[in-house]
Amino acid sequence: MKSNWFKQAVGYQIYPKSFRDTNGDGIGDINGIIEKLPYLKDLGVDFIWINPIYKSPQFDGGYDISDYYALDEDRFGTMADLQNLMMQAHSMGMKVIMDLVVNHTSNQHPWFIESRKSKDNPYRDYYHWQPATPDHLPNNWISFFGGSTWTIDEPTGEAYFHVFSKEQPDLNWHNPKVREEIYDMVRWWLEQGIDGFRLDAISHIEKAPWDFEIKSFKDNSPWEPFMNVAGIEAYMAEFKKLFDEFDALTVGEASGVSSKEATSWTDDHGYIDMIFELEHSNKDDNGQGDLKLFKDTIMRWQEDLLARGWNAPYLENHDQPRVIDVLGDGTEASAKALAVAYMLLRGTPFIYQGQEIGMTNFDYTDISQVDATDTIYLYNEKLAEGLSKTAALKVATVNSRDHSRTPMQWDATENAGFTDGKPWLVINPNYLEKNVAAAQTNPDSILNLYKFLIQLRHEYQDISEGHITFLFPEHPAVLAYKRGEFLIVTNLSATPTTITFERPGHDYQDMVTQAIVPDLLELSLESWAYRIYKKIKE
Ligand code: GLC
Ligand code: CA
């Protein structure tokens, strides 16, 4: 059985490159995280997840690791710094988890450098190689970053497989030597005192037979041959043994694992503690989220994992544009309603850096401002299709991952208090008003609402672990639910609305205003309203 501390906990995701730079090179670092631990403690978070800080050519924001045992010291700091971070976090009662990227390595990893050399190289089988010609690739699968999953490589003339960019060749999990290397590495990190992992792209480690043909390129089907493919269970079971040994906290990025399957992945005997579902966040060509999809997905995951399993609710991460501009309408009110809507769900909620102050998307005006590989790829693709630079930039950036990667806005000083140097990525000019320092002094800020929501989770077991029942499931804008004695209602739209409860009405106390709400039968909800009510005992 797994331990359960995480059920009361709140996680905070740090994109270290953009969190806080302490040595003026314009790149956030480990010491920057240490500096901000008191801020995180004050916010109330129980653990942090740090995006990759391993040695990497940074082709994909560190998700292309060239040495699993080394940190990117030039950018982020040394192992001693990391030990110091863990020590200080632990002394403040916070845990630290790191990214585990084992679907693929960088093409600069020594294993791949060897693997490319010849067909009989001892590392050849560490990756997936197949005979190929430009007209005859092994199959018609396409990669997440665009183009074929196969890249033909000199000197052998064969093609290697990659579900992400060609700089991120996929490891061959069929090879027991690969698995052993990975498990050794995981053990080593756990021995260093890491409290657990966010398992990157973990549902892709097994692939369908190479002759599997993609018939439809719509919806999710192009990813089918490498998304939660049968056979993965054996690898996950091996992982589980290792994680259990260290009582490690584990959260999987596991697209393709359905809410039904997630029960056995995340229950008391499951491979991991919880899963980030990736279904709720679809956006249209104008960057707008789909509220119905969001609501339906959340309800389904919450209900399916009620009897068994555990959720990891989140709104933002380093791959998604800012929710205030996706599901919200840019206003603070929308950021608050969204915060309440998801922070009191059942599960372990995650907050992504900057979300707690309502950081927004960036208005990209030139491709030179962009870093994300997939955004640049899409831009070039659109140029090649004949679009103007302006049009291509719009298409490429509307849902770009670089919206959430702009540096954290700490205060109104130059460069938002992120760095004394030149920031590696553009800083959003709205830092002058939108920053942590300003939010701290405003009792009505989004930040203070997050603090309050975290306190509620810590104080009331009804909210952390209790049952959940959704109300008004068909309502187009209202997301409402009961958690034991609590009633949570949000209007996720700018249009006021009124909802009517079933008789008999109950007496509630408004947890925000302390007002008494007698015999609640009808509730008028203003634009982006939220209510957190607690039943008054008769
Ligand atoms: C995950 C990460 C993303 C990365 C990809 C490849 O989806 O969140 O940032 O590009 O895996 O490792
Ligand atoms: Ca730095």
Give percent of the chain above pLDDT 90: 96
Domain of residue 136, CATH code: 3.90.400.10
Q: Among all ligands shown, which has an atom nearest to the Cα of 17?
A: 2
Predicted confidence at residue 145, as pLDDT, reads 87
Predicted confidence at residue 146, as pLDDT, reads 84
Q: Indicate which residues carry an active-site annotation.
A: 200, 253
Ligand 1 atom at shortest distance from the alpha carbon of 401: 9
Tell me which residues of the chain have a pLDDT lower than 70: 1, 220, 538
For residue 202, tell me if it sits in a domain.
no
Find the domain containing 142 and state its range: 110-161
Predicted confidence at residue 343, as pLDDT, reads 98
d(CA 464, CA 343): 10
For residue 267, tell me if it sits in a domain.
no
For residue 512, tell me if it sits in a domain.
yes
Work out whether strand 486-491 and strand 530-535 pair parallel, antiparallel, or are unpaired.
antiparallel
Overall residue count recorded for the chain in this entry:
538
Report residue 61: phi and psi, to 5°. 55, 35
Report the separation in Å between the CA atom of 316 and the middle of ligand 1, taken as the mean of its atom positions: 14
For residue 452, tell me if it sits in a domain.
no
Report the separation in Å between the CA atom of 56 and the middle of ligand 2, taken as the mean of its atom positions: 16
Q: Among all ligands shown, which has an atom nearest to the Cα of 418?
A: 2
331, burial (CB in 10 Å: exposed 0-12, middle 13-18, buried 19+): middle
Q: Which of 63, 105, 278 to mutate to test the pocket of ligand 1 (most atoms within 8 A of CB)?
A: 63
For residue 502, tell me if it sits in a domain.
yes
515, burial (CB in 10 Å: exposed 0-12, middle 13-18, buried 19+): exposed
For residue 219, tell me if it sits in a domain.
no
Instruction: Determine which residue's CA is closest to atom 6 belonging to ligand 1.
Output: 63
DSSP class per residue in 126-191 = GB-EE--BTTB-S---B-TTSSBSEEE-TTT--EEE-SS-TTSPBB-TT-HHHHHHHHHHHHHHHH
For residue 408, tell me if it sits in a domain.
no
Instruction: Determine which residue's CA is closest to atom 9 belonging to ligand 1.
Output: 319
Report the separation in Å between the CA atom of 253 and the middle of ligand 1, taken as the mean of its atom positions: 9
d(CA 432, CA 182): 45
Name the domain boundary from 161, 191, 224.
161
Nearest to 447 by CA among 314, 357, 339, 330: 357
Structure tokens at 28: 């956030």
Report the separation in Å between the CA atom of 363 and the middle of ligand 2, taken as the mean of its atom positions: 25
Ligand 1 atom at shortest distance from the alpha carbon of 373: 10
Q: Among all ligands shown, which has an atom nearest to the Cα of 424?
A: 2
Nearest to 283 by CA among 400, 163, 428: 400
Name the domain boundary from 119, 136, 161.
161
For residue 457, tell me if it sits in a domain.
no
Sheet with 11-14, strands from edge to edge, namely 274-276, 249-253, 196-200, 95-101, 47-50, 11-14, 350-352
Q: Which of 60, 66, 318 to mutate to test the pocket of ligand 1 (most atoms within 8 A of CB)?
A: 60
Name the domain boundary from 119, 142, 161.
161
Q: What is the dihedral of CA 53, 56, 60, 62, to 10 degrees?
A: -10
Predicted confidence at residue 158, as pLDDT, reads 98
Q: Which of 98, 102, 319, 403 to mutate to test the pocket of ligand 1 (most atoms within 8 A of CB)?
A: 319
Predicted confidence at residue 538, as pLDDT, reads 67
Number of domains in the chain: 2
Pocket of ligand 1 (CB under 6 A): 60-61, 63, 101, 164, 200-201, 253, 318-319
Structure tokens at 118: 């010849």
Report the separation in Å between the CA atom of 283 and the middle of ligand 1, taken as the mean of its atom positions: 18
Q: How many CA atoms lie within 13 A of 483 on its CB side?
A: 25
pLDDT tens-digit readout, 510-527: 999 999 999 999 999 999
Sequence-distant (6+) residues with CB within 8 A of 83 are 192, 193
Report the separation in Å between the CA atom of 201 and the middle of ligand 1, taken as the mean of its atom positions: 6
pLDDT tens-digit readout, 245-291: 999 999 999 999 999 999 999 999 999 999 999 999 889 999 999 99
Predicted confidence at residue 334, as pLDDT, reads 98
Q: Which residues surround ligand 2, an ion (CB under 5 A)?
A: 21, 23, 25, 27, 29
Predicted confidence at residue 1, as pLDDT, reads 62
Domain of residue 507, CATH code: 2.60.40.1180
Report the separation in Å between the CA atom of 100 and the middle of ligand 2, taken as the mean of its atom positions: 22
Report residue 363: phi and psi, to 5°. -90, 85
What is the value of pTM for the model shown? 0.97
Are 70 and 55 contacting, i.e. CB atoms less than 8 angstroms apart? yes
Rounded alpha-carbon distances, angstroms, from residue 101 to 50, 74, 186, 252, 411: 12, 20, 10, 11, 33
Q: Among all ligands shown, which has an atom nearest to the Cα of 20?
A: 2
Q: Which of 164, 373, 400 to mutate to test the pocket of ligand 1 (most atoms within 8 A of CB)?
A: 164
